[in-house]
């Protein structure tokens, strides 16, 4: 999986639980790794310093993936300062969990914009240039809950299911141009997103549904991202790959 072409990988939301593991894995494979953070994230420099202390020289740009103008400005800067993006990982995402009865329009819109519109916003900035160069990878981080639905997640499940349709249609349009488009659907991974679930719900309702009886590790998802980004994965497109400890069998 070595990346001897020094490709540029752009990982949205790289300062989160999954994103950080993806950045580290891609850097270890020789990619120039660029990430984004929310414009209001006051801990971005702290994160960059901590990564630098571990030997990772990441570049990071403010970008609200839910906002078209913000993504245009961000990717323009990345292209000028780092180079054209070869691998895009649409990873940034949020939850606003509540039963449908309590779901209001603001929390529906926030999740759709951040988790689904973001795929349009970011991919649009890079995919045609990838096709012109004859090589590219679009990797969308969806969720097991996009396939099976989840209590309290009508907004999130809809957005994550929407990513599958987006991924497949895009794969068809770019299949002959050297650009692959795939979705990874992680199950429950031990990041702050999952730690926000009430403990009694996690222990009584969620863990028992996972045949392996444990949460996944961010590094396990990062390894799959690295594979999809690799030369070896050139024939793999329009797929949705489940990585969830067997939960998709229920
Ligand atoms: N399955 C079945 N019933 C559930 C349930 C579940 N997963 N979660 C809650 N309930 C039930 C409760 O037992 C309770 O039932 P009773 O009324 O009979 O006692 C009822 O729902 C509570 O309803 P409320 O509307 O009063 O609940 P609430 O507003 O306090 O909270 C909730 C509801 C927001 C859904 C909360 O239970 C919750 O946060 N659940 C976790 C949701 C979840 O799994 N999110 C995944 C986050 S991680 C992620 O998204 C990453 C990924 O991609 C995998
Ligand atoms: P996380 O730790 O909460 O990280 C989410 C990241 O998204 C943060 O870095 C955050 O950046 C960024 N982000 C949120 N809104 C943004 C916006 N509007 N613009 C730019 N960046 C934004 O969550 P995670 O667990 O690593 O999740 C990463 C992805 O995996 C998400 O798409 C999630 O839905 C998906 N996923 C997670 C799990 C899981 O179990 N953890 C399972 C399946 C799928 P800031 O901190 O700078 O705001």
Mean pLDDT confidence for 31-51: 97
Yes or no: say if 210 and 246 are a contact pair by the CB < 8 Å rule.
yes
Q: Summarize the confidence of residues 198-207 as an average pLDDT.
A: 94
pLDDT band at 2 (very low <50, low <70, confident <90, very high): low
* Across 214-224, average pLDDT: 98
Within 6 Å (CB) of ligand 1, which residues are found?
A: 95, 97-99, 102, 143-145, 150-153, 156, 187-188, 193-194, 197-198, 201, 205-206
Helix (H) or strand (E) holding 44: helix 44-53
Could you identify the atom of ligand 2 that is nearest to the CA of residue 189?
A: 40
Domains in the chain, ordered, with CATH?
Answer: 8-243 (3.40.50.720)
Catalytic residue among 156, 174, 188, 227: 156
Query: Is 192 near ligand 2, meaning CB less than 6 Å away?
Result: yes
pTM (two decimals): 0.97
Average pLDDT, the chain: 96
What pLDDT score does 4 carry?
66
Active site residue 56: no
Q: What is the mean pLDDT of residues 105-132?
A: 98
Average pLDDT over residues 202-207: 94
* Alpha carbon of 144 to ligand 1 centroid (Å): 16
Counting residues of the chain whose pLDDT is more than 70, the rounded percentage is 98
Whether 5 has a pLDDT exceeding 90, the answer reads no
Compute CA distances 79 → 48, 75, 84, 108, 136, whole Å.
20, 6, 5, 32, 15
Residue 191 binned pLDDT confidence (cut-offs 50, 70, 90): very high
Measured by CA distance, the residue closest to atom 39 of ligand 2 is: 189
Output the pLDDT for position 162: 98
Instruction: Name the token pair of 221.
Output: 């998802």
Residue 13 beta carbon below 6 angstroms from any ligand 2 atom = yes
Average pLDDT over residues 15-31: 97
pLDDT of 6 reads: 84
pLDDT bucket at 250, cuts 50 / 70 / 90: confident
**Whose CA is closest to atom 34 on ligand 2?**
93
**CA 176–ligand 2 middle distance (angstroms):** 31
- For residue 249, the model assigns a pLDDT of 86
Q: Does the beta carbon of 16 lie inside 6 Å of ligand 2?
A: yes
Buried b (16+ CB within 10 A) or exposed e, 48-72: beebeeeebebbbbebbbbbbebbe
For residue 63, name the pLDDT band (cuts at 50, 70, 90): very high
Q: Which atom of ligand 2 is nearest to the CA of 95?
A: 34
Largest separation between any pair of C-alpha atoms in the chain: 52
């Amino acid at each position: 999986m070595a990346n001897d072409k020094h490709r540029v990988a752009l990982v949205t939301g790289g300062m989160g639980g999954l994103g950080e593991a993806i950045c580290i894995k891609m850097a270890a494979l020789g990619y120039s790794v660029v990430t984004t953070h929310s414009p209001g994230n006051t801990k971005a420099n702290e994160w960059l310093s901590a990564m630098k202390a571990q030997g990772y020289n990441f570049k990071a740009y403010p970008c609200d993936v839910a906002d078209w103008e913000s993504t245009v400005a961000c990717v323009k800067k990345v292209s000028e300062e780092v180079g054209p993006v070869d691998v895009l990982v649409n990873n940034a995402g949020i939850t606003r969990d509540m039963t449908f009865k309590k779901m209001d329009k603001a929390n529906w819109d926030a999740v759709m914009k951040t988790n689904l519109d973001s795929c349009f916003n970011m991919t649009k900035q890079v995919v045609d240039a990838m096709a012109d160069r004859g090589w590219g990878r679009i990797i969308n981080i969806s969720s097991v809950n996009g396939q099976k639905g989840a209590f309290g997640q009508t907004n999130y499940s809809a957005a994550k299911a929407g990513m599958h349709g987006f991924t497949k249609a895009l794969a068809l349009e770019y299949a002959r141009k050297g650009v692959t488009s795939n979705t990874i659907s992680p199950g429950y991974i031990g990041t702050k997103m999952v730690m926000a679930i009430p403990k009694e719900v996690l222990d009584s309702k969620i863990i028992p549904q996972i045949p392996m009886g444990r949460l996944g590790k961010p590094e396990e998802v990062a390894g799959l991202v690295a594979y999809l980004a690799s030369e070896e994965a050139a024939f793999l497109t329009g797929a949705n790959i489940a990585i969830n400890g067997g939960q998709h069998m229920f």
